[in-house]
Structure 1
Amino acid sequence: MKGNSDDRISKLPEPILHHILSFLRAKSAARMSTLSKVLDSAWNSLPYLDFGEILWWLKDVNVVMDQTLASRKKHNISMQRFSLWLSYYACLSYDDRWIKILIACNIKELNLRVETHYYRGNFLYGSLPVAIFAAKSKCAEFAWI
């Protein structure tokens, strides 16, 4: 039996590719984008991003996040949903920059989870970027754990 190398996924319309990619974490969706030009185009215009947990000490992750969001802003991609879990409240310095880009992309739903840490009898808290409160669209679901 001869194998069929027909790429059926790349023949799907972009909205369907967006729907499929929206179920994946951003890292997995980006990996999928290397399979074809069509998937790369779908990834670069994907309005749903779930980055999962971001470890604040990994600088390359922050560069990837910066590039991904800057690309969305440059191409006027209207962001529908963005999810991020910051494992340490010090990440909010990066997050401020990212949130400003998301607001510029008219973000509809922002899911932000920030862990607090207990240190010498005190909980350590950061503060949300002021840009969130000035956003025209309603950003939703903040979790401080």
Structure 2
Amino acid sequence: MTALTFAAAQTIVATAHDHARTQNLKPLAFVVLDAGGHLVAAGREDGATFFRTEIAKAKATCALGMGVDTAVTAERAKGNPTFYAGIVTTLGGDVVFSPGGVLIHDADGVVIGAVGVSGDTGEADAACANVGIKAAGLIGSN
């Protein structure tokens, strides 16, 4: 298993940020957690509201805790809203079922962390996360 390094997390944040600017996205926040849910790196663009960092962290936490990207949990929640509302309540609101939380895998397919991005559409947030993960030489979603 490869450990998620601070350098890799910084690359993820910086590259996700650069991608967001080339796409003219709304101001974003980025959070990278290791497999244990510990903060490794974070950033908030100028103009991003102060909630964005917490939402990004909740997306990354959700991906880790559920074992799938938040785009998957968002779809699953549509079919079982009571169960997913119960998860949010049980976890004190620290998870978000919206695209933009992406698991980070090493070359062996082991989950070594997650990225949460918040500020634009969920799909745009997830795209930024995946660009950053790839730039760090790691594997995100397909």
Could you say which structure has the larger radius of gyration? Answer: 1
TM-score (normalised: structure 2):
0.25
The structure with higher relative contact order (CA 8 Å, sep 6+) is 2
TM-score (normalised: structure 1):
0.25
